[in-house]
Amino acid sequence: MSVRANRRRTHRIHVLAAATALVLGSAGSAFAAERINLAALANETQDEFIVKYRDGSAQRSSAASLQSALSTAATGFSGKGKALGLKHLRRTALGSDLVRAGRKLDRVEAEALMRQIAADPNVEYVEPNARMYPLGTPNDTRFGEQWGYTDADAGINATTAWDISTGTGVVVAVIDTGITNHSDLNANILPGYDFVSDATAARDGNGRDSNPADEGDWFNAGECGRTYDSPSSWHGTHVAGTVAAVTNNAKGVAGTAYNAKVVPVRVLAKCGGSLADIADAITWASGGTVSGVPANANPAEVINMSLGGSGTCGSTYQAAIDGAVSRGTTVVVAAGNNNGNASNARPANCNNVITVGAVDSAGARSVWSSTQKSNYGAVVDIAAPGSNILSTLNAGSTTPGAESYASYGGTSMATPHVAGVVALLQAASAAPKTPAQIETILKNTARAFPQTPDQPIGVGIVNAKAALDSLGGGTPGAQTYTNGTDYTINDNATVDSPITVSGRTGNAPSNASVSVTIYHTYKGDLKVDLVAPDGSIYNLHNRTGSSTDNVIGTYTVNLSSEPLNGTWKLRVNDNAAQDTGRIDTWSVTF
């Protein structure tokens, strides 16, 4: 018998002995996973663990035995080639023991250490001493109706984002119909301005003034080129509520960036608004100078324009937008609702804007009627919830009445979700991001559409949490993709575990991170590769480690020649007989 065969045979005897012990009632390593709370492992580093030893065990009665058991677990742990110590801190009121590792461990290392601890048959359970945080879910009474924040298919992941940022200190200008009095909004409203120069359309008797109150945009049949009557929309109040409604006040709705402030800028009134007024409003809102108008005391980091019309962008629109962007203001605009190409709608087709399409709760392109659907096309940058969006409103049919709430649909409703996320980003950034940087972050971190839209409406759905996570360092906009499904590794066989990436742009970075957890009773049998979507192979492990167990680790891989989108695979090839295992989980971060 060869030396390798004898070593393999000895190794297998140890494995079988452990399995036999389990059958007889001991809790050996093969079933250690049943005593490990892996679900409690967050994507953050861990250094403290709670270990419960069985009643009557030596570890429960002897400090020396306890420390010896911890030292054995630490000795058996192998994480990134670094030694590890385990220190007993105290015994809890429940009889479990709190222990601390000598350094912070990532998720893969923490799992490996927990498995080493649980290999001791006297361990009843082990779990990380996880941190708890105030929950991001607000107490607003109608928050449950705001699907756009939390929906599993198409929500923006707002509640988890709010643990990081709520928009504090950021100003969003809402260029729209103005604002109405609303107790679920007033506290977040700063002084604005009325740029409607036509006194008749403005209905305030004096044209431009410092009062941005919405006087109503209702009209009768025969007016505004329409054959029907139309009540006031209170559109600006609805949009402002989606941006920054007062939140955690036990009433009404929540805002996307609920600690941001809104500067209401009135440009739309009866029969809409003029390009000249809107251009002045963009300039003023972003901190520029408008003749005859006092300076804006609160220049906006973000402008929301849920408005539009047909035609090419034109010099006036583009000059105003370029001026705002040069002052550091991100301009977010609606794609339009005419079921047409947004290249024919302005300001959606202007340069230097973030153009927003709309999705419903299934993640499909929003449809409001047979002719009213979200605009689409190459100029649309990103999508956001835009169907059945509940927000602040007013009950008056013409002039302002009592405050109310209502659900609206349109790219007008999608746009403030994105503007709100921009506010979250700016509030969380160590230094202000440029409009170009903001657009890149939003696109790189967008969540994939759950179904391919029938027309293109951007790279994906805005993802507030992923966008904020990208500010933490490393590759801008980096995301982690994971496959946690078990894949059996049979003798002399090859198995692939796939991860599909979509909705991203560009190539992977030169420092992509691939984390692997493979349980196998003879790691020397295994060849482990990352397979790129084009079939290129990047080797991670090639039959090293001889008779030791498992392939657990994190690998840095240069993937700069590979496009991000496509199906990536972890490929494991077992090159011999007698030992088997499984791919437990793997992830790639880029």
CA 418, CA 357: separation in Å to the nearest integer? 10
Please give the structure tokens belonging to residue 408.
Answer: 């609206």
Q: Phi, psi (5° rounding) for residue 27?
A: -110, 80
Please give the structure tokens belonging to residue 97.
Answer: 């023991």
CA 230, CA 269: separation in Å to the nearest integer? 13
DSSP, residue by residue, 89-116: EEE-TTS-EEEEEEEEE-HHHHHHHHHH
The DSSP bridge pattern shows strands 389-394 and 537-542 to be unpaired
DSSP, residue by residue, 16-39: HHHHHHHHTT---GGGGGGGB-GG
> Residue 47, Cβ neighbours under 10 Å: how many?
16
CA 140, CA 143: separation in Å to the nearest integer? 5
Extended strands (E) in 447-493: 480-483, 487-489
Which residues are known catalytic residues? 176, 235, 412
Match 């339009």 to its residue by tokens.
Answer: 336
> Residue 449, Cβ neighbours under 10 Å: how many?
22
Which H/E stretch holds residue 51? Answer: strand 46-53
3-state DSSP call for residue 149?
A: helix
Tell me how far apart the 2 most distant CA atoms of the chain are, in Å: 103
CA 387, CA 497: separation in Å to the nearest integer? 36
CA 558, CA 553: separation in Å to the nearest integer? 17
The dihedral formed by the CA atoms of 476, 162, 246 and 321, expressed in degrees to the nearest 10: 10
CA end-to-end distance (rounded Å), the chain: 47
Helices (H), 182-223: 199-202
Residue 509's beta-bridge partner residues?
A: none
CA 360, CA 163: separation in Å to the nearest integer? 25
CA 551, CA 442: separation in Å to the nearest integer? 35
